A and B are shown apart, each in its own frame.
Chain A
Amino acid sequence: KAGVTQTPRYLIKTRGQQVTLSCSPISGHRSVSWYQQTPGQGLQFLFEYFSETQRNKGNFPGRFSGRQFSNSRSEMNVSTLELGDSALYLCASTLQPSTDTQYFGPGTRLTVL
């Protein structure tokens, strides 16, 4: 089975722009979670989607949004980018919305200039 894939792997944007990141879960997995990883804050939970519905949300401003499609692929969007949004964005998939074992993708490295 193919693992979790994320595109793009690297992205450079400037302040004020918006960005969309994509995550394709492992085949058959219906739950996708997103995390932001920075050196200062570590891994912070963004949101979780299951069956196209947001099941859980972390403490991030409304500039961060996401969605999930009927094939379980997920996208997250960050609008009006700030320098502090520079981070590694990781998505993880599981079969069901339990947190037993999460399978992570390689991440998207976003740099905001």
Chain B
Amino acid sequence: SQQGEEDPQALSIQEGENATMNCSYKTSINNLQWYRQNSGRGLVHLILIRSNEREKHSGRLRVTLDTSKKSSSLLITASRAADTASYFCATEGAGANSKLTFGKGITLSVRP
């Protein structure tokens, strides 16, 4: 079963605009991660935020985490056509031998 659920399922924006993607989850987590996947290829790790963190930045990426609402958001600023991809949030459950559970992903299209 999916732990993380992303919202929206698909997003289409113009180059230069900001893209905001949301992820909600159900149980307590150790950390939440965002990955990108280009057209049926392997996933690339973007950013990780731990349960005791509220915000992290990496280049044009900004991730927030609200553990009280069990939600996270990924903001991509000044989007580029090359950002066109599927984005997944993944959560590591709190507990021993936990595994990474992925959502179904958000398809982002950035129009040139």
> Which residues of A are at the interface with B, using a C-beta cutoff of 8 A?
4, 33, 35, 42-43, 45, 48, 55-56, 58, 88, 90, 92, 99-107, 109
**B15 to nearest A CB, angstroms?**
27
Give chain A's interface secondary structure class: strand
Asked whether B97 lies within 8 Å of A42 as measured between CB atoms, the reply is: no
> Which residues of B are at the interface with A, using a C-beta cutoff of 8 A?
2, 30-31, 33, 35, 40-45, 48, 88, 92, 97-105
Name the residue of chain A whose CB is nearest to the CB of B6: A42
Give chain B's interface secondary structure class: strand
B45: contacting residue among A33, A58, A102, A106, CB under 8 A: A102
Say yes or no: A99-B100 contact (C-beta < 8 A), given A42-B2, A42-B105, A43-B88.
yes
Name the residue of chain B whose CB is nearest to the CB of A3: B42
Give the CA-CA distance A43 to B33 in the complex, in Å: 14
Asked whether B42 lies within 8 Å of A4 as measured between CB atoms, the reply is: yes
Asked whether A105 lies within 8 Å of B42 as measured between CB atoms, the reply is: yes
Which B residues touch A101, using CB under 8 A?
A: 33, 45, 48
Besides A43-B88, A99-B100, A100-B48, 7 new A-B residue pairs in contact (Cβ under 8 A), listed by A number: A42-B2, A42-B102, A90-B42, A99-B92, A99-B98, A101-B33, A103-B45
